[in-house]
Amino acid sequence: MTATPILELRGIDKTFGPVQVLHDVAFSVHAGEVTALVGDNGAGKSTLVKCIGGIHPIDAGEYLFDGKPATVHSPRDAASLGIEIVYQDLALCDNLDIVQNMFLGREKRSGLVLDDATMEEMAVSTLAGLSVRTVKSVRQKVASLSGGQRQTVAIAKAVLWNSRLVVLDEPTAALGVAQTAQVLELVRRLADNGLAVVLISHNMNDVFAVSDRIAALYLGRMAAQVRTSDVTHAQVVELITSGRSGDLGLAHTTGAAS
């Protein structure tokens, strides 16, 4: 792990009309680590991720990438920094195969025709680099894949583009026990390969299984960002539900967000 976070947000505010959704949020993510972003529904997780990904512009605060100020006005800006976000709906096309999905919108060409051989080779290499063994053929249609396999393809698609930070939105939400274990293993492997990973999850067992740090949002404020080994399951639940656990979290004087 490097001393400088790959992503650092300071004092982030975000307002939609009269409603302030994020208040003075600080958040940092390190390469080689999984940072779990947790919080109740309405805590601001989705808004924060969309600010990171360039979907929502921030109203105030600093956005630093690799220790340098960065301007992110669109998903293209975020992608150019090496930030990829895998949303819960995965945005995969059932009628296309794995290779076609991984290169959708970024197809390789040889002259005027698609370079299928290179794309297939890169897809196979990416999956192999992630030690994915659950996919039989990269020419399988996505419609034929299980939930866990779909999640794997979506993650592989994200890391194919020299990404440095991958954000995963509830990657195990609709999965069974065995498929959840496979996806969590893949999440851990991303960090072990040197990427920075942000894991959004409501499942505390998943969070404690793979994360190095936990960042807890409460009503649009960052209640705490701590090393996973320094907190208990119960403390994290208290941070999520009340913004405070003992000496950890927001001061009692902090007002509630809308």
| Spatial separation of the C-alpha atoms in residues 146 and 15, rounded to whole Å | 38
pTM score, whole prediction = 0.90
pLDDT of residue 134: 82
Mean pLDDT of 232-255: 87
Sign (positive or negative) of CA dihedral 178, 164, 225, 169: negative
Give the model confidence (pLDDT) of 46-59 as tens digits: 999 999 999 999 99
- Does residue 238 register a pLDDT over 90? yes
Type of residue numbered 194: G
**Whole-angstrom Cα distance, residue 238 to residue 141?**
43
Confidence (pLDDT) at 133: 82
- Whole-number pLDDT of residue 173: 87
What is the rounded CA–CA span in Å between residue 73 and residue 54? Answer: 5
**Predicted confidence (pLDDT) per residue in 155-197, tens digit:** 999 988 889 999 999 999 888 888 899 899 999 999 999 999 9
Q: How confident is the model at residue 255 (pLDDT cuts 50, 70, 90)?
A: very low
Neighbouring C-beta atoms of residue 182, cutoff 10 Å: 19
- pLDDT confidence tier of residue 217, bands split at 50, 70 and 90: very high
Q: How far apart are CA 146 and CA 134, in angstroms?
A: 10
pLDDT band of residue 257 (cuts 50, 70, 90) is very low
Could you state, in order of their start, the residue ranges of all structural domains in the chain?
7-82+164-249, 87-146
* CATH architecture of the region 7-82+164-249: 3-Layer(aba) Sandwich (3.40)
Could you tell me the two tokens for 51?
A: 């600010």
The two structure tokens encoding residue 257: 């967000």
| pLDDT given for residue 253 in this prediction | 47
